[in-house]
Chains A and B, each alone.
Chain A
Amino acid sequence: MAFMVSPPPHIKEGVSIKKLMWSRFIVLLPLCLASIYLFGFPALGNLVAGVLGAVFIELAIQKAFKQKVTIGDGNAAYMGLLIALMVPPSVPFWLPFIGAVFGIGVVKHAFGGLGSYMFHPALATWVFLKLSWASLMVPTSVPQLGSLSDLILETGAGFIADASPIAMIGVLYLIARRYIEWRIPLMYLLTTMVLVVLLGDPLSYVFTGSFLLGVFFIATETSTSPITKNGRLVYGIACGLLTVIYGYFTGNYIEGTFYGLLLANAIAPMIERSTVPKPFGGVEA
């Protein structure tokens, strides 16, 4: 009888990149539904445009360079959705489409594709759109938490992601399943809350959908955060610190979140390098 021979391990956990990416995509869907309910057809159009743009450019690049087509792993669709969630609902449909093309084409693939980008594609895209179409990228009003009901459905306009902070509750399931890192969001939230209270800003400025999107989805992006355990704690603190510095001096914690995270991305490799853990048993005696 012929048996298959291969090196160990012979069993593996059923987790794959596909599962990680699509589970994040699915967890963001309630937020999309809430935004469509709140902002109507324009929000739906923007979200679809973002996803389509991302998938289109990934397919085009991989076909053009004769690479293996990886649109099925969900990373492009997830990035496109994130990009679309980070624009105001009032923008024309071509804006998130262009953004997604830039994010996937330049920030992801020009830097080497999945796992190789040094800045989060959605963050870099947001800055690109903000600089290029500054007037379009200003939301009609900056949302803030007035009463508890705002957690469920935001009253201010803001970005699409600001529609309903509570709709992101599914992320807790992903954290429990270890699909999303817990150290970074925990330290990020704690640092931000402590600093904001110390500086005397109202917490209601901070707890917006965009901030929570940054905490749970952008800060935890695996390629742009350190891999060491202590490094992830430090990275969370750094994210919080940078967010509050920008937010405190401009009074805009939403932009503070995104700019702060972009800077935190830049220092992530340094944090990782300086927190390499000592192994069990130490070095050879």
Chain B
Amino acid sequence: MSDVSRLDKLPEKVIIPMRQHDGIACAPLVKKGEEVLVGQKLGECEGSDLAYVHSPFCGTVESIGLMPNPTGKRILSVVLTPSECTQSVEFVPEKNASPSRLIQIIKEAGIVEYYEKPTYLALKPGKRIDTLLMNATFPLITRAYLNSLDKVLKGFSLMLDASGISRGVIVVRADDKESIKAFKGAVVDGKPLTIAPIIGKRHADYYLEDLDDRIIVVAAGKITYTPTMMNLLSADVMGRKISLGREPSDVHVVVCGVKSAKAVYDAIYEGKPYLENAVTVTGAVNKPGTVFVRFGTPIKDVIDACGGYKGEPGKVIVNGSRVGVAIYTDEAPVVKNTTGIVVQTKAEVLQDDTTACIHCARCVDVCPMNLLPTRIASYSDIGNYEECGQLYAMNCIECGACAVVCPSKRHLVQLIKYSKLQIHNIYAAEAMGEATK
């Protein structure tokens, strides 16, 4: 992989948010002016949904306060001035740990899944689980980890050990030839991996029954399964129906990412906490590519590493141009769930006028959830949220596919999101009414 590089240049300052996933925020353990080492724990938290924060840099704490974040909000962060020193806390590998110890190490390392859940919680949902799915359907991210594929696979096996799940299925895109080729050459437990396509009713179970392999690779369609599409992923790969409001663990499936598998390997075989990630940079930059970036590095420095902006930048989008957030400043840091940065020039930024719906049904044709986006949005627009509910607005996963194809450029996602919020409020109000009766 020639286009995967590592960002070694030290940024001027590093912003390490105390909350890098959708859970509990950590309390800072360091004070202003304190020296920190690589791998030192910066944030400690208590509760059930936590991910500790470690310092990926060696340096001095400059300040602690609210700083920009790629979510668009300002979040309590530790700001470091990194120094050239490479001194780290002592990393202790534990190669022969017991499953409960493995979970403990994963928890200590602060590893977070791509859908913003801490890995130690995701692996142990407290239900009977028979399959662990690895979502490798982000081609650029998967390719970035192909150099260290054996480590990823080892990490995946360790996740199986830690959680006591018997079978692992790695899901790749059917059109991602490069990754499939690399998986074909890979060896797990002394045996080459089996690559199987998902066709019709032949789901992963079909192949797992025939083979006595612990891990198989399946090529499933040409869809990139984003975090909101976990249920769809489980249904497509395992052929198990998941009703609304349930999650994959209800049908005995757990989903993990490529990045977390590599992080688990690092945590257990090298003793390192979760310190860096692959980030893809695309769009209007001079050298688009994939870069391994330590958490806390401002996005500005990542873009500089990719040759800087090409032309005048109009929009910087974090985590994909379909569902990502357009950030207002490139000072915001890369955090644990940052996967990609897209830069658009001033000319590329969309500024369309919304016109009337012509009922062309293009949104109906592309909706992965089989909804009628235009109808839900129209009812939402006139405030008839009950009708939205009857058209299954709550099933919407906000993937944005409908708004992409709309010839009238309507804000379908926002209208549907709003109706979901209102339906939620109606239910909450009803529940309150019941309680006070």
Contact = CB atoms under 8 A, between A and B. Distances in A.
Interface of A: 1-13, 15-17, 19-20, 70, 73, 113-116, 178, 181, 222-223, 225, 227-229, 232, 276-285
Interface string B335-375: 00000001010000110100111111110110011111011
Given A19-B407, A277-B372, A281-B231, A3 B359 contact: no
Nearest to A112: B356
B235 interface: yes
A201 B14 CA distance: 81
Contacts, number: 162
Contact of A277 (B350, B370, B394): B370
B111 interface: no
A20 B407 contact: yes
A9 B355 contact: no
Contacts of A284: 243-245, 394
**6 residue pairs, one from A and one from B, having the closest CB atoms:** A9-B400, A227-B361, A285-B243, A279-B395, A222-B360, A10-B321
B396 to A, nearest CB: 9
B245 A279 contact: no
B172 to A, nearest CB: 22
Contacts of A116: 356
Nearest to B316: A3
B369 A281 contact: yes
Most A CB contacts (10 A, CB to CB) among B241, B344, B356 go to: B356
B76 to A, nearest CB: 22
Interface string B383-413: 0000000011011000010011111110101
Interface string B314-328: 111100011111111
Given A8-B323, A279-B370, 13 more contacts: A1-B329, A3-B316, A3-B329, A7-B413, A10-B315, A10-B350, A70-B355, A114-B355, A115-B357, A222-B361, A228-B364, A277-B372, A281-B242
Contacts of A281: 231, 241-244, 246, 369, 395
Contacts of B15: none
A57 B361 CA distance: 28
A111 B241 CA distance: 43
Nearest to A14: B407
Contacts of A7: 326, 411, 413-414
A281 to B, nearest CB: 5
User: DSSP majority for the B interface?
Assistant: loop
A222 B359 contact: yes
A115 B326 contact: no
A280 B370 contact: yes
28 contacts: A3-B326, A4-B314, A4-B349, A5-B328, A9-B323, A10-B317, A10-B321, A10-B344, A12-B403, A12-B404, A12-B406, A13-B405, A15-B407, A20-B358, A73-B355, A115-B358, A181-B361, A222-B359, A222-B361, A229-B364, A232-B361, A276-B372, A279-B371, A280-B395, A281-B243, A281-B395, A282-B241, A285-B244
Q: Which of A1, A11, A280 has the most CB of B within 10 A?
A: A280
Contacts of B328: 2-3, 5
Contact of B326 (A4, A229, A282): A4
Contacts of A278: 370
A279 B243 CA distance: 10
Contact of B356 (A10, A114, A178, A225): A114
B2 to A, nearest CB: 27
Contacts of A276: 372, 391
A12 to B, nearest CB: 5
A9 B391 contact: no
A2 B309 CA distance: 13
B309 to A, nearest CB: 9
A249 B44 CA distance: 83
Contact of B355 (A6, A13, A17, A285): A17
A161 B395 CA distance: 45
Contact of A279 (B316, B350, B369): B369
Contact of B404 (A13, A229, A282): A13
B176 interface: no
A6 B241 CA distance: 35
A4 B241 CA distance: 40
A262 to B, nearest CB: 18
A21 to B, nearest CB: 9
Contacts of B139: none
A227 B241 CA distance: 26
Contacts of B371: 277, 279
A216 B7 CA distance: 56
Interface in B398-437: 400, 403-409, 411, 413-414
Residue among B231, B313, B359, B411 with max Cβ neighbours from chain A (10 Å): B359
Given A8-B324, A279-B395, A222 B315 contact: no
B413 A8 contact: yes
Nearest to B235: A280
B213 interface: no
Given A228-B372, A229-B364, A115 B392 contact: no
